[in-house]
Amino acid sequence: MSEAQVRRYWQDFWTDGHLEFARNFYADPFFLNDQERTPAQFEAGAAAFRSHFSDFEVTVDRVFAWEDVVVTRAVFHAKHVGAFETVPATGKPIELTGLDVFRFQDGLVVEHLHEADHERMWEQLGVELS
């Protein structure tokens, strides 16, 4: 069940943009990278992030599930269409990968660890990293 929920999360929440999906996926509260969050806070953060990108698509290329934990490796694709941080819109496509660990309790995610290759994203947007 949890693996199917995570696959739906990547499709429904991130690719299709149905941010309300978080309300039935995350516990209230849950932990994101050791920080307590509510599903509403997560929705707001995702909406803000997505406002800088169009054509957002996530492909899951690896899934590992064991007991109450699901781990995915996902590939993110999007086009940079809005100023992000200090970078004005470039119109450039981006592709980056991420690893996510989801721990479930009573059918909801209580802990989500997320790591993404943001350095690659900045490079694709033309930002020189020191």
| Residue 129 in domain | no
Residue-number span of the structural domain to which 90 is assigned: 2-124
| Residue 42 in domain | yes
pLDDT at residue 130, rounded to an integer: 72
Tens of pLDDT, residue by residue over 4-17, are: 999 999 999 999 99
| Residue 43 in domain | yes
Q: Compute CA distances 15 → 50, 62, 86, 87, 102, whole Å.
A: 10, 17, 25, 23, 18
Any idea what the CATH number is for the domain that residue 81 is in? 3.10.450.50
| Residue 19 in domain | yes
| Residue 30 in domain | yes
pLDDT at residue 1, rounded to an integer: 66
| Residue 81 in domain | yes
CA 14 to chain centre: 7
Q: What is the mean pLDDT of residues 98-121?
A: 97
Tens of pLDDT, residue by residue over 44-99, are: 999 999 999 999 999 999 999 999 999 999 999 999 999 988 899 999 999 999 99
pTM for this prediction: 0.94
| Residue 130 in domain | no
Q: What is the mean pLDDT of residues 106-110?
A: 98
pLDDT at residue 98, rounded to an integer: 97
Whether 100 has a pLDDT exceeding 70, the answer reads yes
| Residue 115 in domain | yes
How many domains does one find in the chain? 1
